[in-house]
Amino acid sequence: MKVLVAGAAGMLGRAVVAEFSRRGCQVTACTRNDMDITAIETVRGKLTAARPELVINCAAYTKVDGAEEEAYQAFLVNGLGAKNLALACREHNADLVHISTDYVFDGSKEGPYGIYDGTNPINTYGRSKLWGERAVAEILPRHYIVRTSWLFGLGGRSFVETMLRLFRERSKLEVVDDQRGAPTYTVDLAGALADLVTTRCYGTYHITNQGLTSWYGFARAIAASVRSPVEIIPCSTAQFPRPARRPANSALDPFPLLETIGRLLPFWEDALARYLTKNRCE
């Protein structure tokens, strides 16, 4: 299969390029320099040249706090960029995988969010991602909108990398304990995407590693894995004011992922252990 990946130099983009290449796809990996998704004629030109059957959009404006100051940039990339890809895919008869986020929800629900639950983003990043989802769904029937959460993986800025750095710099650390979600390894997500696109079961999906934790729980697991002596103290979101509000509950219900690809992703603790082992070898 001929696949074009947008945002190929990003954390998820790298894992997606590696996974689809490993499975024998002919992959055109587009970094921001190769294809700025906010420029429709550039996007059209790339698809004309590469003639992909499938486009995977891993490109995004991902600075959650930065988006509060740079709203135009967030909407440009996450909204208009996604719309441009959907338009070009329609013109070239290509399927589109569009990656979205748990931050389209407000986090006020008790249990995990299903794909059928109403969205209500509480920050600019979430609003921009929701516009991207809607543009894709309006323009292109043959789409997979995949919401994920708390990504970590090689070659990117992630909570895991931030913690590993802070463990080296500090002996004591306060970490937020009242937001919960599912840490997700880019390698596991990429594998699920590769399974999903063979099904032709278009629509919206929630794909994360299994299990839930808080940022505090996640930090403790990272510290335990690397045997760091750092002291980690739980704190509340209110004690750590940030420019963007975050949902307290980011849990995503994977239904109907199991029914569609026949499996769920491994638990996040298992994913973290594999990542840290791989990270140490690179």
Ligand X SMILES: NC(=O)c1ccc[n+]([C@@H]2O[C@H](COP(=O)([O-])OP(=O)(O)OC[C@H]3O[C@@H](n4cnc5c(N)ncnc54)[C@H](OP(=O)(O)O)[C@@H]3O)[C@@H](O)[C@H]2O)c1
Query: Which residues are part of the catalytic machinery?
Result: 125
Binding to ligand X by residue 228, rule CB under 6 A? no
Interface pick for ligand X out of 20, 25, 28, 38 (rule CB under 6 A): 38
Measured from the CB atom, the residue of 24 and 41 that comes closer to ligand X is 41
Binding to ligand X by residue 151, rule CB under 6 A? yes
282/277 Cα distance (integer angstroms): 9
Measured from the CB atom, the residue of 49 and 233 that comes closer to ligand X is 49
Measured from the CB atom, the residue of 71 and 233 that comes closer to ligand X is 71
Measured from the CB atom, the residue of 22 and 157 that comes closer to ligand X is 157
Per-residue DSSP letters for 55-108? EEE------TTHHHH-HHHHIIIIIIIHHHHHHHHHHHT-EEEEEEEGGGS-S-
Stretch that binds ligand X, among 115-123, 149-157, 225-233, 258-266 (CB under 6 A): 149-157
The per-type count for the chain, helices as H runs and strands as E runs, is: 11, 12
**Six token digits for residue 253:** 């219900």
**Secondary element (H or E) of residue 233:** strand 231-235
Stretch that binds ligand X, among 34-42, 46-54, 235-243, 256-264 (CB under 6 A): 34-42
150/130 Cα distance (integer angstroms): 17
Stretch that binds ligand X, among 54-62, 86-94, 168-176, 224-232 (CB under 6 A): 54-62
Q: Work out how close the CB of 171 gets to ligand X at its nearest, in angstroms, rounded to a whole number.
A: 27
Within 10 Å of residue 128's Cβ, how many Cβ atoms? 27
Interface pick for ligand X out of 1, 21, 23, 32 (rule CB under 6 A): 32
> Tokens 């013109």, residue?
91
Binding to ligand X by residue 44, rule CB under 6 A? no
Binding to ligand X by residue 10, rule CB under 6 A? yes
| Listed residue (158, 177, 149) closest to 254, CA to CA | 149
Measured from the CB atom, the residue of 60 and 222 that comes closer to ligand X is 60
The answer to whether 135 and 86 have CB atoms below 8 angstroms apart is yes
Binding to ligand X by residue 107, rule CB under 6 A? no
Query: How buried is residue 198: exposed, middle or buried, by Cβ count under 10 Å (0-12/13-18/19+)?
Result: exposed
Residues that bind ligand X (CB under 6 A): 6-7, 9-13, 32, 36-38, 58-62, 77, 81, 99, 101, 129, 148-151, 156
